[in-house]
């Protein structure tokens, strides 16, 4: 019986240790949402059987770092690694996205207050803005994961938003501004963060048709002090001409970091 109690208490100790390790809290939390160019397809290619594969190549700008954590699908913090969205956008083949180059660029600034970075991947490929509206599955999961990321403290510093390619039809592009504004306002309200900084990417995919500029105009001219935009124009793509290649994902991630550092790193 003594041995039974001994192993029982040892088991409790192990469980506690796991919970403590899983609860290590990055001080600066960033939400990553949108569609496939946020979840990342850099390094993807079709193999001889026409199956999409990731090449597994991780450039230095996307390297793991003990000071960069990610909230995995089980809502546990772990060291972040590429592909960042692998267990979130799991129905697609994920590759390099902007999240890791963003986080590494933040660390490279050597700001003592920004030495602990937490990334919360939430992006899903092929999604329209209406699929992110309040009450939808994606919206609820975004809010739930955002709240879970703060269980042990920390602060949500910004939402990184890269979406819009799926809204370039004549109909959806007309409604994009209203839908985007409502999404941002609802999210700020439901996270009790009325001035949540948002940094979004102006889309640029090569084959989005004649209405892509309607989306870009909304994104690049958004009238809100706490919303900044970076432009992906000039990007290069993988073979499908829809998804940014690794080089351009790094470029976008670094642009997002520069926007955060210049506008939101030290709020007044």
Is the model's pLDDT at 243 over the cut of 70? Answer: yes
Distance of alpha carbon 124 from alpha carbon 248, whole angstroms = 19
Query: Two tokens at 251?
Result: 């470029």
Q: Which of 36, 173, 205, 248 is catalytic?
A: 36
Query: Two tokens at 48?
Result: 């001889």
How does pLDDT run across 131-182, given as a tens digit for each residue? 999 999 999 999 999 999 999 889 999 999 999 999 999 999 999 999 999 9
How does pLDDT run across 90-106, given as a tens digit for each residue? 999 999 999 999 999 99
Distance of alpha carbon 50 from alpha carbon 161, whole angstroms = 30
59-60-64-65 Cα dihedral, nearest 10 degrees: -170
Total Cβ atoms within 10 A of residue 25: 16
In the residue annotation, 240 being an active-site residue is answered as: yes
Q: Which residue has the higher pLDDT, 147 or 18?
A: 147
Length of the chain: 268
Q: Is the distance from CB of 125 to CB of 92 less than 8 angstroms? A: yes
Which residues face 68 on adjacent strands? 117
pTM of the complete model: 0.91
Distance of alpha carbon 62 from alpha carbon 121, whole angstroms = 15
In the residue annotation, 36 being an active-site residue is answered as: yes
Q: Which of 167, 172, 205, 243 is catalytic?
A: 243
Q: Where are the domains of the chain?
A: 26-263
Q: Which residue has the tokens 């209405």?
A: 211
In the residue annotation, 169 being an active-site residue is answered as: no
Helix boundaries (H) for 23-48: 36-39
CATH of the domain spanning 26-263, picked from 2.40.50.140, 3.40.50.1110, 1.20.1090.10, 3.90.1010.10: 3.40.50.1110
Q: Which of 186, 190, 231, 240 is catalytic?
A: 240
């Amino acid at each position: 019986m003594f041995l039974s109690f001994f192993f029982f208490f040892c088991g409790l100790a192990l469980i506690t240790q796991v919970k403590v390790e899983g609860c290590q809290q990055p001080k600066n939390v960033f939400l990553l949402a949108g569609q496939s160019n946020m979840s990342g397809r850099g390094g993807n290619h079709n193999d001889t059987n026409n199956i999409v594969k990731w090449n597994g190549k991780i450039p230095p700008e996307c390297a793991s770092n003990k000071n960069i954590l990610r909230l995995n699908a089980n809502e546990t913090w772990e060291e972040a690694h590429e592909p960042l969205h692998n267990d979130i956008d799991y129905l697609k083949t994920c590759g390099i996205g902007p999240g890791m180059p963003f986080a590494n660029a933040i660390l490279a600034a050597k700001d003592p207050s920004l030495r602990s970075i937490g990334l919360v991947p939430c992006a899903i490929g092929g999604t329209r803005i209406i699929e992110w509206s309040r009450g939808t599955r994606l919206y609820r999961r975004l809010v739930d994961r955002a709240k879970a990321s703060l269980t042990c403290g920390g602060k949500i510093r910004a939402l990184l938003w890269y979406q819009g390619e799926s809204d370039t039809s004549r109909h959806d592009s007309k409604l994009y501004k209203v839908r985007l504004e409502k999404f941002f306002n609802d999210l700020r309200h439901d996270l009790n963060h009325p001035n949540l900084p948002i940094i979004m990417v102006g889309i640029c995919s090569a084959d989005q048709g004649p209405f892509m500029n309607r989306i870009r105009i909304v994104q690049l001219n958004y009238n809100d002090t706490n919303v900044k935009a970076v432009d992906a124009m000039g990007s290069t793509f993988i073979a499908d001409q829809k998804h940014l290649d690794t080089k351009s994902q790094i470029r976008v991630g670094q642009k997002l970091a520069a926007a955060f550092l210049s506008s939101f790193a030290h709020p007044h």
